[in-house]
Structure 1
Amino acid sequence: MILNNQNELVLKAKAVLESLESGNPKAITNYIHPDQYVQHNLALSNGRAAMLGALDHLKEIGTKVSIKRILADGDYVALHSEYDFFGPKIGFDIFRFENGLIVEHWDNLQDRVEKTPSHHTMIDGPVMIKDIDKTDANKVVVKSYVENILLGKNPDLLTSYFAGDQYIQHSPHIADGLSGLGAALQGLKAKNIEFQYTQVHQVIGQGDFVLTASEGLFDGEPTAFYDLFRVEDGKIAEHWDVIEAILPVEKRKNSNSRF
């Protein structure tokens, strides 16, 4: 029963996202709550009407959406997608459901980088979810990593989260391996670029994939960090991310929290 319900939520979330390309309002009208839709994208007005009102313009400018990965975790569905929206971008969207309707949305969007140090793209790699029975354990591993390493609670544990230097990296400015991560962090430090996570807000997982949504600072700007991890045999094996600056208050179109 739970699995069937999750499949239904996945189909609804997928349909809503794909409507941004098609311009067809049916999915938004049918699957988003008419009165209780909380929008955390600060560039959009609150409520369902803002999404419906944007459809014609999105279709006019040729918006494209290609969904690569979908995670379902309780009432949450997270999607990892490639967009063509004022240029090629990579994005994460998170929808929260109540009684079968979407009542809340978060997202993060970043320009796609074509040439990366790892020679992987920002979105390629495995898409099939495995190890469903390890979902809870994998969420514990990833949350621990984000808190101890990225938030800096216990950085000495870094190597314990990886199987040696075997680490596939899709972040656009970091090479493969734990060594690549270390080199990137040293490079930021040498340039006096501040890179700091301050709080993890969401941990959404299914099987071997776990997505975290965190806030922090990048080069002095308040920033949203979305990190997707693939866990294999209790170790972090692969990583994708999307980093987006948080709009300043004077540019926001709603008063909700970014997280």
Structure 2
Amino acid sequence: MNKGKAEENKRIVTEFYHAYGIEKDAEKCREFFGDRYIQHNPHVQDGVDHFLRFVQYRKEHYPQGENRVMMTLGDDDKVMLHVHSVLVPGDPGRNLVDTFRVEDGKVVEHWDVIQNVEVLKFPPINDNGLFNQCGDSILCDPDKTDENRALVTAFYETYGLEKDAGKCAGFLGSTYTQHNPHVQDGPEAFLKFVEFRKKNYPHARNEIKITVAQGNLVGFHVHSLLTPDDPGRNLVDIFRVEKGKIVEHWDTIQNIEVLKFPPINDNGLY
């Protein structure tokens, strides 16, 4: 990974996202685009002008809405943002991941995964919260990016394709912190989940479509299928590595809709 390029891409996308998600300044956003903007949400039109119209709409109808970036990963040409989006103060909002591709210093392509934050009917299974609360201090070990990318990719293929709990155990630390409120902490709970998945969903597959890695953080944009005939789920998994072991996990999970009308763009989710 080119560390200088990754940091520059993070700067560009962070400034752009603040102009969009906090300031809601359409004209300021325009400065970050080139001559095209490709969307992978089937409900959203391609093009810079359509995005700027959305920013203006949001400013007019949700003036207090904010998209707060909770974690940022930058790679050679992509930046992944884990975001808490709240349109109306007091609303639990949305847990989302926006991933952008940067080309020649301009934002040119976008993927998203959007999950409504539930008002839980029972206490959460863990108390870790959905989001990173440590800011940029969570990121370290920039020289180990490639090593950690390979480590977490091997782990994820062992989990998502092979469903081999015994092999997965070798990748996990003595602690494993979960940020999904429905999931237990600890490597033992995760390995039990892998075994359950293999037994009950033998054809399940989690296929990595995009990887963004920086230092000790590795994020995957994934197409998850439990059964071969199911449209599956559009999801992002982000992992933190410590001393060569995977110790923490965040996710954003969105069911893939069976569309009732043709998609607005033909770019696909991935």
Shorter-chain TM-score category? 0.7 to 0.9
- Cα distance, 1:106 vs structure 2: 0.7
Change (3 A) 1:227 1:105: same
Contact 1:225/1:243, CA 8 A, preserved across alignment: yes
Task: Normalising by structure 1, report the TM-score.
Answer: 0.87
- Given candidates 232, 239, 243, the residue that maps to 2:253 is 243
Query: Would you say 1:232 and 2:242 are equivalent positions?
Result: yes
Question: Counterpart of 1:37 in structure 2: which amino acid?
Answer: Y
Task: List gaps (5 residues or longer) in structure 2.
Answer: none
Residue 74 of structure 2 is aligned to residue 72 of structure 1: yes
- 1:91 deviates by 1.2
| Cross-structure match for 2:54 | 54
Aligned residue identity for 2:79: V
Contact 1:37 1:47 (8 Å CA) reproduced:
yes
Gaps of 5+ in 1: none
1:172 to 181, 206, 225: 181
d(CA) in 2 for partners of 1:68 and 1:194? 35
Q: SS where residue 31 of structure 2 aligns?
A: helix
What is the total number of aligned residue pairs between the two structures? 255
Q: What's the CA shift for 1:189?
A: 8.7
Q: What amino acid is the match of 2:7? A: N
* Aligned-residue offset at 1:163: 2.1
SS across alignment from 2:69:
strand
Q: Which amino acid aligns with 1:106?
A: W
Task: Give the CA deviation at 1:221.
Answer: 4.3
CA contact (8 A) 1:38 1:104 kept: yes
Q: For residues 132-156 of structure 1, what are the alpha-carbon distances to aligned partners after superposition, in whole Å with 9 as ceiling and x for unaligned?
A: 1111010001111111112226443
Residue number in structure 2 paired with 1:94: 99
Question: How much has 1:37 moved relative to structure 2?
Answer: 1.3
Does the CA-based 8 Å contact 1:230-1:239 persist in structure 2? yes
**Residues 127 and 181 of structure 2 are in contact (CA less than 8 Å); yes or no, is this contact kept in structure 1?**
no
TM-aligned CA deviation for residue 95 of structure 1: 0.8
- CA deviation digits over 1:174-208, x for unaligned, max 9? 01002232455677799x78993341111111100
1:90 partner amino acid: N
Aligned CA RMSD, in angstroms, stands at 2.6
- Cα distance in 2 between the residues matched to 1:186 and 1:111: 28
The CA distance in 2 between the partners of 1:78 and 1:157, in whole Å, is: 28
User: Shift in Å at residue 121 of structure 1?
Assistant: 0.5
**Which amino acid is 1:256 matched to?**
N
Q: 1:195 to 1:20 in 2, by over 3 A?
A: farther
Aligned residue for 2:190? 181
